[in-house]
């Protein structure tokens, strides 16, 4: 494993339409920029620090940020999300504007991959390349369902008291275990520490459940992954229980310039032991 130095990072709050978003940048601003878009209910902390540093060490300028209703960004009352996927896509562009960047390589994971596809389709001139991790192509039907075990776990979220922080933390700990792959053992201590760190930053973690409504009511089927004309790299674990590998494979069938990097035994996660492999795949794609 490559020895990582500690990279200086800076946090900046950026005003967007109707919200304020917390961002953090790693590396040299003169290097090619990468913007990271994380998934449902997850703040920017779910992009591991060492992952961001691994990209910065390979001469990339890395920006991660808290999407609306996560971390230190604007929160809305539970059940009153006033934004759509198109707003989230526009948020990413507003962050590029805030950093004075005309274009960037866009990387999205899970629901963040849906947002990243919207960015590429709505703002193609602002996107250099697209990397989609553990996500599904827009407008493609008939792909494999989540595992039955994960579906059962997901339904348990309906019974959670989202004002009870310990109940939330317990659900998230179980979630990380359920999303783990088979290649490496799940690290419950690392998951517990990350969840505690994430929850400590959020003024109202219950607000993150607005993303459930966003997914169910605002998923943009009107947009098609097949219309993406940019170079696409799909990175997908072969043991992903939420979006099975068929979702990653579908990108190579519907997007003209798409490649698939399989993380053998990988789950719906960026595992500590897979960071260098995933980071290098992104570096090669964005070269």
Average pLDDT rounded to a whole number, residues 275-282: 99
Residue 208 near residue 70, CB atoms below 8 Å: yes
Average pLDDT rounded to a whole number, residues 112-133: 98
- Lowest pLDDT segment from 14-23, 47-56, 216-225: 216-225
Domain boundary assignment for the chain:
9-285
Arithmetic mean of pLDDT over the chain: 93
Q: What is the pLDDT of residue 134?
A: 99
- The pairing of beta strand 33-37 with beta strand 104-109: parallel
Average pLDDT rounded to a whole number, residues 55-67: 98
d(CA 145, CA 142): 9
Return the top range by mean pLDDT from 14-18, 131-135, 205-209.
131-135
Per DSSP, 66 falls in state P
The superfamily in CATH containing domain 9-285 is Alpha/Beta hydrolase fold, catalytic domain (3.40.50.1820)
pTM, entire model: 0.94
Average pLDDT rounded to a whole number, residues 165-180: 96
Angle at 251 between CA 216 and CA 149, to 5 degrees: 50
Residue % of the chain over a pLDDT of 90? 83
Q: What is the pLDDT of residue 5?
A: 45
Count, in order, helices (H) and strands (E) of the chain: 9, 8
Taking 70 as the threshold, does the pLDDT of residue 274 lie above it? yes
Residue 85 near residue 119, CB atoms below 8 Å: no
Residue 282 near residue 34, CB atoms below 8 Å: yes
| Bridge partners, residue 65, by sequence | 23
d(CA 68, CA 250): 29
- For the stretch 2-27, pLDDT in tens is 334 456 789 999 999 989 999 999 99
d(CA 105, CA 103): 7
Residue position matching structure tokens 């978003």 = 21
Taking 60 as the threshold, does the pLDDT of residue 71 lie above it? yes
Q: What is the pLDDT of residue 9?
A: 84
Q: What is the pLDDT of residue 197?
A: 95
The residue ranking higher by pLDDT, 227 or 219, is: 227
pLDDT band, residue 219 (cuts 50/70/90):
low
Q: What is the pLDDT of residue 67?
A: 97
Map residue 16 onto helix, strand or coil: strand
pLDDT band, residue 81 (cuts 50/70/90):
confident
Cβ partners under 8 Å of residue 208, min gap 6: 40, 41, 69, 70, 202
The residue ranking higher by pLDDT, 72 or 1, is: 72
pLDDT band, residue 121 (cuts 50/70/90):
very high
pLDDT band, residue 122 (cuts 50/70/90):
very high
Q: What is the pLDDT of residue 191?
A: 97
Q: What is the pLDDT of residue 209?
A: 86
Q: What is the pLDDT of residue 18?
A: 87
Residue 236 near residue 263, CB atoms below 8 Å: yes
């Amino acid at each position: 494993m490559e020895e990582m130095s500690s990279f200086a990072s800076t946090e900046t709050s950026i005003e967007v339409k109707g919200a304020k978003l917390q961002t953090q940048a790693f590396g040299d601003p003169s290097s090619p920029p990468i913007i990271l878009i994380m998934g449902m209910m997850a703040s920017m902390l779910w992009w591991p620090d060492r992952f961001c540093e691994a990209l910065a060490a390979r001469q990339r300028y890395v920006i991660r940020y808290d999407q609306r209703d996560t971390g230190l960004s604007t929160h809305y009352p539970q059940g009153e999300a006033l934004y759509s996927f198109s707003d989230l896509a526009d948020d990413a562009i507003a962050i590029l504007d805030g950093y004075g960047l005309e274009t960037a390589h866009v990387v999205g994971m899970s629901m963040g991959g849906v947002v990243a596809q919207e960015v590429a389709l709505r703002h193609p001139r602002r996107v250099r390349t697209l990397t989609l991790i553990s996500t599904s192509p827009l407008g493609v039907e008939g792909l494999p369902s989540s595992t039955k075990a994960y579906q059962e776990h997901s339904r348990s979220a309906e019974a959670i008291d989202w004002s009870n922080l310990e109940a939330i933390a317990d659900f998230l700990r179980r979630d990380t275990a359920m999303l783990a792959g088979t290649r490496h053992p799940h690290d419950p201590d690392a998951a517990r520490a990350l969840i505690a760190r994430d929850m400590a930053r959020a003024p109202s973690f219950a607000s993150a459940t607005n993303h459930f409504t966003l997914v169910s009511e605002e998923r943009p089927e009107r947009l098609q992954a097949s219309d993406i004309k940019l170079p696409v790299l799909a990175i997908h674990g072969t043991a992903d229980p939420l979006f099975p590998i068929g979702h990653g494979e579908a990108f190579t069938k519907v997007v003209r310039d798409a490649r698939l990097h399989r993380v053998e035994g990988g789950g719906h996660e960026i595992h500590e032991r897979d960071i260098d492999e995933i980071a290098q795949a992104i570096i090669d794609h964005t070269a």
